[in-house]
Amino acid sequence: MAEESNYNEDNIRSLDWKEHIRLRPGMYIGKLGDGAAYDDGIYILLKEVFDNSIDEYVMGNGRTIEVSIKDKEVKVRDYGRGIPLGKVIDCVSKMNTGGKYDSKAFKKSVGLNGVGTKAVNALSSYFKVESVRDGKVKKVEFERGNLTTEYDVEDSTQRNGTKITFIPDEQIFKNYTYRNQHVEKLLWNYAFLNTGLSIYFNGEKIQSENGLKDLLEQNLSHKPIYPIIHLHGEDIEVAITHTESYGEEYYSFVNGQYTPQGGTHQGEFRAAYVKTIREFYGKDYDASDIRSSIVSAVSVKVMEPVFESQTKTKLGSTEIAPDGISMRAFITDFLKRELDNYLHKNPATAEALQRKILQSERERKDMAGIKQLAKKRAKDASLHNKKLRDCRLHYNDTKENDRKVDTTLFITEGDSASGSITKSRDVNTQAVFSLKGKPLNTYGLTKKIVYENEEFNLLQAALNIEESIDDLRYNNIVIATDADVDGMHIRLLLITFFLLFFPDIIKNGHLYILDTPLFRVRDKSKTFYCYSEDERQKAMQEIKGKPEITRFKGLGEISPGEFKNFIGKDIRLDPVIIGKETPIQEMLEFYMGKNTPDRQQFIIENLKVEKDLAEELNVTI
């Protein structure tokens, strides 16, 4: 019989604000991560600080915000009113303290709960706030939420505003690195929503003149089939176009805050758009045909918005203001009026849009037979799918669970690699999908191939992305191939597949490449796994005498006991990112299309023969 444990007053304890944040950081900033994903904790820290500067700008205070990141130190300087000097410490170290509880001061604010900067403070090994107001400056410094230095108020010639400096704590965020692509995307989204704002990131200016229209132009991976429709209203802005790509692509915002997981505003926009189009053409078109290949952005301003988490990635508000008009009526009335007027005034656009709808309708009907067969095949396979080793939790589970963000599907080549990952994975959050060799090159093919090709169809079913990525089953899709020529080719083929048919998987930051070690360097007391030649050299310096060096040539050669080190808490992932300057169509045509003389010449000019370092060193294989 189990021994009874004593439960009395001594078992009850209260955590202070910083202890609770450091003990349960996920409650405040979502997942931790190492900076590979755009929503990793270190970017949420930056966002929490930046949101306060944005709120100052929205209220008409300051038109410039400066951000600099050097090594691991982040600085954010705005030119707003500055924190009241007597409340500087309270505003960054006392929960539920802030100026945004009074809706008159911050009518449509992002940071409403008085938690953001406190979380940044608690999760930073160094945190400094400087507030300048009317010729005076107040400075205070913290370490992991503890006040270390409070300076006296001094005279200052600086402009009014607030400057926050912080270094994310490496005790919380292991081996992290800020990636400029993610930071730039974050800051550009702020610029699109605040057209009069100048943002400087490491000295480079980020500014938008045309708001959401600029956002679509910068993010389009295919040419639009008609000019971007750009509509403005009080507390709402919309941009819409269609391309020849597949799927639906949405960028949604609330009070200047990017909501990558959408929410009520995005859902009501999708429904209102279909309703408006049907009424304009007087046709009961299928909703999927109307929205097929749409690329759009919607921004709304909401009084006292309700988000589904502290990280504010999904809106839960069903009304524009407490006891105000519903989100559905607000967006539907706006689109009915403004989009209907636009299409009447621009008949060429209306005709191009209708042609696109009819084209989508024909394609859908052409694929109806093969889709039905493919669905039956996927349903049968779901009962005994030998390719998929599923996990217990899923990203689209309705029940809340902090670990949903960790759900991962590894796409592997062959049984040996999938066997090692399957035996060493976390069965709660990590699933494995095994390919049989190289997949088909899908460039130049239609989406019909997704249903005709059994492997692609089963992968689509495993991810649950046939209609959209709204019910994606895994937050992270990780391509795990050998680091050789064949493995690189499989990566390219899979990236091509996602770029062509499910580009929103990549644009929403769900696709990664697994980074696995090239070498194991060890002696009797120490073992180092090295991901590069530099790491190998450093490991050899750490070990005295002659070390045993193993060169890993394939994932299947790594034992399950060792593999758990590479897919556990120290996992290294390289995100697949579409840069704003990347011409997707031209790139795919050049690398994945026909073997042209230009590509042959490119290969000849860039061909490199790498020596096998392991053989050169006569090490163990």
pLDDT tens for each residue of 391-424: 999 998 878 777 888 899 999 987 767 777 888 8
Assign residue 220 the CATH number of its domain: 3.30.230.10
With respect to residue 95, please indicate whether it lies within any of the assigned structural domains: yes
With respect to residue 12, please indicate whether it lies within any of the assigned structural domains: no
With respect to residue 7, please indicate whether it lies within any of the assigned structural domains: no
Secondary structure of 552-614 in the HEC alphabet? CCCHHHCCHHHHCCCCCCCCEEEECCCCCCCCHHHHHHHHHCCCCHHHHHHHHHHCCCCCCHH
Q: How far apart are CA 102 and CA 416, in angstroms?
A: 60
For residue 620, the model assigns a pLDDT of: 45
Tell whether 106 and 187 lie within a shared domain: yes
pLDDT tens for each residue of 46-87: 998 998 898 888 888 889 999 999 989 999 999 999 989 988
Which residue reads 């995307």 in tokens?
185
Q: Are 528 and 520 in contact (CB under 8 A)?
A: yes
Q: Does pLDDT of 191 surpass 80?
A: yes
Count of Cβ atoms closer than 10 Å to residue 362 Cβ: 10
Q: How far apart are CA 255 and CA 299, in angstroms?
A: 7
Q: Does pLDDT of 110 surpass 60?
A: no
With respect to residue 11, please indicate whether it lies within any of the assigned structural domains: no
| pTM confidence score | 0.78
Output the six-digit token pair for 616: 């050169």
pLDDT tens for each residue of 577-599: 876 666 677 777 777 777 778 77
Tell whether 146 and 43 lie within a shared domain: yes
Range of 251's domain? 212-364
Least confident of 179-193, 361-375, 460-474: 361-375
Tell whether 358 and 380 lie within a shared domain: no
Tell whether 611 and 577 lie within a shared domain: no
With respect to residue 5, please indicate whether it lies within any of the assigned structural domains: no
From 258, 251, 245, select the one nearest 54 (Cα to Cα). Answer: 258
With respect to residue 1, please indicate whether it lies within any of the assigned structural domains: no
Tell whether 547 and 419 lie within a shared domain: no
With respect to residue 253, please indicate whether it lies within any of the assigned structural domains: yes
Q: Does pLDDT of 223 surpass 90?
A: no
Strands 257-258 and 249-254 come out as antiparallel
Confidence of residue 112 (pLDDT cuts 50, 70, 90): very low
Output the CA torsion sign for 209, 212, 218, 224: negative
From 337, 317, 330, 354, select the one nearest 231 (Cα to Cα). Answer: 337
Q: Which of 173, 206, 239 is the last residue before a domain boundary?
A: 206
For residue 548, the model assigns a pLDDT of: 86
Q: Does pLDDT of 1 surpass 50?
A: no
What is the total residue count of the chain? 621
**List of residues 6+ apart from 444 with CB closer than 8 A:** 593
For residue 66, the model assigns a pLDDT of: 96
Q: According to DSSP H, which parts of 194-326 are helical? A: 212-219, 264-281, 287-291
For residue 101, the model assigns a pLDDT of: 43
Tell whether 475 and 541 lie within a shared domain: no
Q: Which of 179, 206, 233 is the last residue before a domain boundary?
A: 206
Confidence of residue 15 (pLDDT cuts 50, 70, 90): low
Q: What is the DSSP letter of 440?
A: P
Tell whether 117 and 199 lie within a shared domain: yes
Tell whether 64 and 110 lie within a shared domain: yes
Region 268-281 average pLDDT: 96
Output the six-digit token pair for 233: 């209203």
Region 254-270 average pLDDT: 88
Tell whether 563 and 588 lie within a shared domain: no
Tell whether 577 and 486 lie within a shared domain: yes
Tell whether 161 and 97 lie within a shared domain: yes
Tell whether 126 and 162 lie within a shared domain: yes
How does DSSP assign 100-112, residue by residue?
Answer: -SSTTTSTT-S--
Q: Which of 334, 364, 394 is the last residue before a domain boundary?
A: 364
Q: Does pLDDT of 239 surpass 60?
A: yes
Q: Are 498 and 511 in contact (CB under 8 A)?
A: yes
Q: Does pLDDT of 22 surpass 70?
A: yes
The number of folded domains in the chain is: 4
